[in-house]
Amino acid sequence: MQITRFTDLSLRVLMYLTVPPDSGPVTIDEIATRFDVSRHHLAKVVHRLGQSGWIVATRGKGGGLALAQPPSQYRLGEVVRELEGGESLIDCTSQPCVLLQGCNVRAALNDAQQAFYERLDTYTLADVVRQQTATSIIALHRGRRPSSPVTA
């Protein structure tokens, strides 16, 4: 299973917002610059996150983006499930499959997808933004690229 770029960016935005900067509110322009992504695409992501009630966007001078709730209230499975649409991994009817009768592939994939979301639900946004990630986010707030992790 692979999540969309939209969902990936949404999760990164939520993670970024878990560590408020010292310099004031977080803006779309700031995140677009820090993540090196299209401002237009990011605006769509932020709009969707706002519609879902996960972030609060304040307009005007001094406005910006913030999490709507504490990071411990965001279940990753719930976020990914909603952003991905919760659709089946395969659609056996869009081009009718000759194996449709008696085939169990769709059921097996749906079971696996459900297990994926249930496992993600055991993690919160707070769980995935631990000290090392928080340090990287702080570096981004300050306009620096975080250092690459050392691999053994």
In a domain, 151, yes or no: no
Question: Residue 50: in which H helix or E strand, if any?
Answer: helix 39-51
pLDDT (tens digit, 9 = 90+) per residue, 99-119? 767 778 888 888 998 999 999
The model carries a pTM of 0.80
**Structural domains in the chain (count):** 1
In a domain, 147, yes or no: no
In a domain, 95, yes or no: yes
pLDDT (tens digit, 9 = 90+) per residue, 7-56? 999 999 999 999 877 767 899 998 999 889 999 999 999 999 999 999 99
Phi, psi of 126 (to 5 degrees): -65, -35
The first and second tokens of residue 64, run together, are: 């910006």
In a domain, 152, yes or no: no
Residue 137, domain CATH:
1.10.10.10
